[in-house]
Amino acid sequence: MCGLLSGLSLSVLLAAADPSSAIQIDGAQLTLIEHAEISAREAGVLNQIYVTEGKTVEADAPLALIDDLDAKLAQQRADTEYAMAKSLAENDLRVRFTRKSLDVAKSELKRSLESVEKFPKSVSQTELDRLKLLADKAELEVDLSEVERAQSKLSLQLKKHDLDRATLHLERRTIKAPFPGMVVQWKRQRGEWVDAATPVARLIRLNRLRAEGFVSSKNSSTKLIGRSATFLVNGIKHKGTLNFVHPEIDPVNQQVRVWAEIENEDLSLRPGETGTLFINEAEIVKGELPSKVK
């Protein structure tokens, strides 16, 4: 029994390793997956270029800077106005003062009314009306102070929006890389005026490439998506994964276009190269083989 299981495991492994179990695509070509013409988001003079052509950068790395003096001043002004609005919104002195004034007015009116109850005509009706008016006025001032403070908080929100907008406007002056890649061309030079949406540099991603080829429609099942792939060029193997099987069949040659994403961390592969792409049809998922019986 042990020998049978061991023999079965070995035969399955050999089948997976057998080249005949893989789809072979000759003349597969490497192309770019990601490439972009990086544009300026704000108009202005191109003040700085941080990366020379041929240099690789990470995602969000600064590539260049549009003149940002005005944007910095606007951001500083918005920051100051926000600080002032915040100080005003957090200040409750007027609310506390009006509430205290209301307490005093009510107490004075209460004492006068109590005095009249004990000693009629000790306080004239005119005086009572005046004290009642003062108490009502103090109560209205409390309401008004609370409304003013609520408005101050709303004003603070508006100032925060202004600050965020000024900060964003300043950040947009820095041209950044949308993905990791290599700067292969600068279309504008330092000191030149650029308009918004003007292409400034070309960026290509090289650490992941696409190996494209054609297979017979008989071997183009969508079940192949996700299978491991190997790109062979100059005797060197590069690992990858099949990511796409075109849903349409060419009516002339009955072939289907497929492509695999190939790892290229060492940047040894270059777009435009051709080689042989192998797609593994009989993959073994880790853990599916019967365990060895002792």
What's residue 282's pLDDT?
55
Q: Is residue 199 part of a domain?
A: yes
Model confidence pLDDT, tens digit, residues 13-54: 333 334 446 899 999 999 999 999 999 999 999 999 999 999
pTM of the model: 0.70
The secondary structure element, H or E, covering residue 151 is helix 125-171
Looking at the structure, tell me whether residues 63 and 183 fall in a common domain.
yes
Q: Using an 8 Å Cβ cutoff, are 63 and 191 in contact?
A: no
Q: Is residue 286 part of a domain?
A: no
Containing structural domain, residue 232: 19-34+205-280
Q: How many domains does the chain divide into?
A: 3
Q: Residues 6 or more apart from 218 whose CB is under 8 A from it?
A: none
Q: Per-residue pLDDT averaged across 81-96, rounded?
A: 93
Q: Is the pLDDT of residue 11 over 60?
A: no
Q: Using an 8 Å Cβ cutoff, are 227 and 240 in contact?
A: no
Q: Is residue 6 part of a domain?
A: no
Give the Cα separation of 106 and 126 in Å (integer): 16
Q: Treating both helix axes as pointing N-terminal to C-terminal, what angle do 69-90 and 125-171 enclose, rounded to 10 degrees? A: 150
Looking at the structure, tell me whether residues 80 and 156 fall in a common domain.
yes
Looking at the structure, tell me whether residues 213 and 242 fall in a common domain.
yes
CATH no. for residue 258?
A: 2.40.30.170
CATH no. for residue 53?
A: 2.40.50.100
Task: Work out the number of other CB atoms within 10 angstroms of the CB of residue 187.
Answer: 14
β-bridge mates for residue 194, sequence order = 44
Q: Is residue 163 part of a domain?
A: yes
Looking at the structure, tell me whether residues 76 and 222 fall in a common domain.
no
Give the Cα separation of 156 and 152 in Å (integer): 6
Q: Is residue 97 part of a domain?
A: yes
Looking at the structure, tell me whether residues 96 and 233 fall in a common domain.
no
Sign of CA dihedral 122, 123, 125, 126: positive
Q: Residues 6 or more apart from 287 whose CB is under 8 A from it?
A: none
Mean pLDDT check: name the lowest of 79-88, 94-103, 214-223, 257-266.
214-223
β-bridge mates for residue 31, sequence order = 210
Distance between alpha carbon 90 and the CA centroid of its chain, in Å? 33
Phi, psi dihedrals of residue 67, rounded to the nearest 5°: -45, 125
Looking at the structure, tell me whether residues 146 and 233 fall in a common domain.
no
The structure tokens 């435009």 sit at: 272
Looking at the structure, tell me whether residues 167 and 229 fall in a common domain.
no
Q: Is residue 142 part of a domain?
A: yes
What's residue 83's pLDDT?
96
Looking at the structure, tell me whether residues 112 and 139 fall in a common domain.
yes
Q: Final residue of a domain: which of 126, 151, 171?
A: 171
Model confidence pLDDT, tens digit, residues 94-127: 999 999 999 999 999 999 999 989 988 888 999 9
Model confidence pLDDT, tens digit, residues 133-188: 999 999 999 999 999 999 999 999 999 999 999 999 999 999 999 999 999 999 99
Pairing of strands 208-216, 22-32: antiparallel
Q: How many CA atoms lie within 13 A of 146 on its CB side?
A: 7
| pLDDT averaged over every residue in the chain | 87
Q: Is residue 1 part of a domain?
A: no
Looking at the structure, tell me whether residues 183 and 229 fall in a common domain.
no
Looking at the structure, tell me whether residues 96 and 29 fall in a common domain.
no
Looking at the structure, tell me whether residues 79 and 148 fall in a common domain.
yes
Tell me how far CA of residue 256 lies from CA of 214, 252, 279, in angstroms: 5, 11, 14
Give the Cα separation of 119 and 129 in Å (integer): 17
Q: Is residue 290 part of a domain?
A: no
Give the Cα separation of 277 and 203 in Å (integer): 26
Looking at the structure, tell me whether residues 76 and 120 fall in a common domain.
yes
**CA-wise closest residue to 106 among 133, 124, 72:** 133
